[in-house]
Structure 1
């Protein structure tokens, strides 16, 4: 089942953007593109994604940026202490030598190598990770809501298709009931023709073969099983939750019964109905691939 959600967030000095999308897939395939320097984030995200998606190819992208710190300066205390001690020694030696030095200015000191340097900040990835995991819950809520909306629409489509299958199955049952007399008449005529043109035929053996032919052309079991499959499919749609794989298996059973019905038809109208059933069931199978 397809789905999409995006969201932007921030927690100074960081800002980020989420994007989660999903396309149809037989199983669950999670693909995460997140910063690897945020420890523990990917593992927790996988858990959260698996909790809202049971089927499909799901991609989660996260872009994190940080405010630039260019222009921020700080005093290197250790280097300043070293410089001040050196100045103190120089001034003391100068006084001993009778040399008078001009007083040192702060502007002179800060220009000395290493006293004033670019400010550095420490990344607190634990705090950032917590903020991201809290924010992603909102994105996942939007993602799940979109998939739920699509799922409701898909359920209506499948319900309509099941109704069509039910109507066609009823039509097949009616045609099968109506052809019984015709088939019985054909069997009697064939039996009479064989008996008239064959000497020494084992009539009991012949009757068994004809009875077998009659059984092989009976589609009562196929009609009954199709009815049971329709009821099972409707129950799954009403059940909610991840039912895509169960419906996928059920579509195989639908297709199997319809193929057998067509093979046994031996009747123009019944064959037509069987082919219409196959067409609708194929459409259902395509739709079921979208169900979680």
Structure 2
């Protein structure tokens, strides 16, 4: 089952006098790139939080935000009274000296450095258990989001691979016609030479065979068909095989490119261009698969 690397989850842990809100977002990335923005009271257990996220998400650019909202009567911050008084007296003196208004000085003081500071909030073991339960809920939501996105991408991949397979089936009639035209063209090119000179017919046939073998795309068609089949088989495996599918898509592209270089036919080239277009759209989406 495919999983996208894009996802979102949110959960809230209701604690005594406070609530902890955990939000987690993820985008595509080649490896796990984790950015945690935690309330100071949550930072003591940051390594454990990282371990849980790492185990669940594997890959992606992940941003986890942990905020605390205080719902009780206890204040989460304390006022440094001596510093506040000192600021107020200095500003009041300056205002009188300049003849300025002393209104709203308190609001100005409260914005000054070191006036307020967070009190140390100790989180109990029981509260941490509740927080980790909520963290797992948020991660589960994100995983469900990834699964849903993966299902949409899977249907798109199947449609595009089947389109490539259909285009591949259209190549054969043009290939047969091309071979007949090439053979006739070679015969006409050497017609005068054959009529007016001694000519080794066997050697001429050998040269035609060699020339046609250089343009033969049978092996490329067979390999392309096998790669497309393998891509579809990999899609329905239990694991989300983003990297594996990327490697298979590279092999598909290699066969399509070789067919294009050996085609020597406008109609086949048109089919090759359409195959490339479908494959490029697949590759763009594969960058977001876990």
C-alpha displacement at 1:193, in angstroms?
Answer: 5.8
| TM-score for both structures, normalised by structure 1 | 0.73
Kept in 1, the 8 Å contact 2:15–2:127? The answer is yes
Say whether 1:213 aligns with 2:211: yes
Out of 37, 40, 49, the residue aligned to residue 45 of structure 1 is 49
- Hey, what's the Cα distance between the residues in 1 that align with 2:50 and 2:188? 70
- What CA deviation, in whole Å up to 9, does each residue of 1:117-155 have, x standing for no partner? xxx997245343222111111111111111111111110
Out of 257, 275, 278, the residue aligned to residue 276 of structure 2 is 278
- What CA deviation, in whole Å up to 9, does each residue of 1:60-84 have, x standing for no partner? 11112444525xxxxxxxxxxxxxx
C-alpha displacement at 1:36, in angstroms?
Answer: 5.3
C-alpha displacement at 1:198, in angstroms?
Answer: 8.5
In structure 1, the partner of 2:175 is 176
Structure 1 window deviating more from structure 2 (2-11 vs 159-168): it is 2-11
- Hey, what's the Cα distance between the residues in 2 that align with 1:221 and 1:14? 68
How many residues align? The count is 242
Point out where structure 1 has 5 or more consecutive residues left out of the alignment. 71-119
C-alpha displacement at 1:250, in angstroms?
Answer: 1.5
Point out where structure 2 has 5 or more consecutive residues left out of the alignment. 76-118
Say whether 1:140 aligns with 2:144: no
| TM-score for both structures, normalised by structure 2 | 0.73
- What CA deviation, in whole Å up to 9, does each residue of 1:251-271 have, x standing for no partner? 211111111111111111111
- Hey, what's the Cα distance between the residues in 2 that align with 1:279 and 1:162? 11
Aligned counterparts, 1:21-170, within 5 A: 21-35=25-39, 37-38=41-42, 41-66=45-70, 67-69=72-74, 123-170=122-169
Kept in 2, the 8 Å contact 1:34–1:63? The answer is yes
Kept in 1, the 8 Å contact 2:35–2:63? The answer is yes
Kept in 2, the 8 Å contact 1:173–1:220? The answer is no
Kept in 2, the 8 Å contact 1:31–1:59? The answer is yes
Q: Larger radius of gyration, structure 1 or 2? A: 1
